[in-house]
Structure 1
């Protein structure tokens, strides 16, 4: 079975993860299931906001703002300007076009629709072939612990722009959140699992922390490969390297492999080729920087070629 014929599960969060998911969707279509981090989700201005899910939906649906890296293209900000004029909270920016998603989601959830079903309906409406699956339908919050306080994720990441030093990252689910049946089913039938080049601590660890996910991965016979989020010891976007430094972890591919602990292979950038012999598992060296949509597809193709090699 060649890579293009595989049923693939991608674990995904953030902009880097969404870019690879875009490439995989172009190559695999309905054979791809993207399990998305919801640890970033929160209630704001009376609305339920799902930043990582929306980033994946907008990216795969060709609606994303490529310059900002988040939100919708062609956005306007009249709502935020009016909100500021009324002394409302403006630290988390919601564009006028983006508001439509949050209003529809909030209405659906209040009517008893699950986040999984709502996301599936939107993805189908936008013509997205891949299944976009929230990791859980329950509240499951990422909490960043600093020297003197515990911060809800968006307060740390957006309001404080990830400046506070991270001491620890915790996850809270007051209702005892569990993995969705759709996510577990996707892992169960997968021929391969790809961990996207997302922040391991803020985007992938929340997925792995949801009861049921890690057990399903451990039980899966499918090979699991990750794409390193580091290039030359640096993160292309976001605070991955900063957090690793603050936690006393070396910013290299060896640390990424050790952090996950369950990988069968690692895709790394050419700049990190010197780490290849030290990681202890099979590696595939290629360009991992996705500046264009063509490069997203090419990296996805390289991942599938690597899986072909592991399966042969």
Structure 2
């Protein structure tokens, strides 16, 4: 079986790790591809930073700082202190020394003419990740946020400096109208037996992937079932201030509301199926009636066992959907 995951951020990284753990335990998966959000990316101090990609890279490599939830474990910040002393970087965004090494290597390869997809492949060879990471696009589509009062700032400033506390009016992706999906990302979607939408932020992690011209069409044409996993449990975001992002686009912080935001693929949307938490089981029948067959399972990814079980549940739901489609 070939599995492709759409992901970004900490929740996406943990879910991808769970899919890999299930693959290692079951032996049922021959390949895992992850299409990674690039909307969080930005330039800082002359280097190109890929926050979502690096969360996935470090988590899958076993190098992530699990206490902070981001960055490298065993990190130091001597260079960051110097950069801030020179006024090159703001005090609210700190680059760890080990992390900076990744950014410098990436930027060197980009400036030498390699595409982001080529760079991601090079970065992925250092550790045995067990998956292949693909930027959703090779074009730059940095996210900016327009807040109340009309001020516009890079997503990283809104997210990291202000902790999403400034009410957002809208999110804009610079240059996205001229962007296109990365060829490797499209190939991974087209070759998949199952496409999984990770429990990542639906607005700023999955949203930019879907907003790339041609990406939704590729997912609608995909022969594989598309199954999403809710990142909302019991009316609360598990991580990442998703409630502030959902409010900006007029979507309730609710598992069923997010599913309807993605929409049923049978009705022009994205999803063939959806996983909700046991706390949200009551929403299942109505979602199924709306064309998004839903099942309630434990969604908390507390360790390798619970993460692998969630991946198994998502794949089982996809298998059921596939069987139902054949019988129809």
Q: Which residue of 2 aligns with 1:309?
A: 320
Q: CA deviation at 1:293?
A: 2.7
**Secondary structure, aligned partner of 2:205:** helix
- Say whether 1:163 aligns with 2:158: no
**Secondary structure, aligned partner of 1:238:** coil
- Say whether 1:59 aligns with 2:59: yes
**Deviation string, structure 1 residues 88-114 (Cα, Å, up to 9, x no partner):** 423211111111100000000000011
- Say whether 1:287 aligns with 2:298: yes
**Deviation string, structure 1 residues 46-85 (Cα, Å, up to 9, x no partner):** 1000000000000111111111111011111112223333
Q: Which residue of 1 aligns with 2:203?
A: 201
Q: Which residue of 1 aligns with 2:15?
A: 20
- Say whether 1:270 aligns with 2:272: no
Q: Which residue of 1 aligns with 2:130?
A: 129
**Secondary structure, aligned partner of 2:286:** coil
Query: How many angstroms apart in 1 are the aligned matches of 2:161 and 2:305?
Result: 33
Q: CA deviation at 1:243?
A: 2.6
Structure 1 unaligned spans of 5+? 1-5
Q: Which residue of 2 aligns with 1:297?
A: 308
Q: CA deviation at 1:122?
A: 1.7
Q: CA deviation at 1:207?
A: 0.3
Query: How many angstroms apart in 1 are the aligned matches of 2:172 and 2:30?
Result: 34
**Secondary structure, aligned partner of 2:271:** coil
Structure 2 unaligned spans of 5+? 24-28, 264-269, 324-328
Normalized against structure 1, the TM-score is what?
0.94
Question: Which has the larger displacement, 173-182 or 6-15?
Answer: 173-182
Query: How many angstroms apart in 1 are the aligned matches of 2:311 and 2:176?
Result: 37
**Deviation string, structure 1 residues 188-223 (Cα, Å, up to 9, x no partner):** 111111100001000001001112211101111211
Q: CA deviation at 1:141?
A: 1.6
CA contact (8 A) 2:233 2:277 kept: yes
Give the 3 Å change call, closer, same or farther, for CA 212–129 of structure 1 in structure 2.
Answer: same
CA contact (8 A) 1:139 1:175 kept: no
**Deviation string, structure 1 residues 7-48 (Cα, Å, up to 9, x no partner):** 111000110011000111233365111000001111100100
**Secondary structure, aligned partner of 2:113:** coil
Query: How many angstroms apart in 1 are the aligned matches of 2:85 and 2:130?
Result: 41
Q: How many pairs does the alignment contain?
A: 307
Q: CA deviation at 1:180?
A: 0.9
Query: How many angstroms apart in 2 are the aligned matches of 1:175 and 1:197?
Result: 26
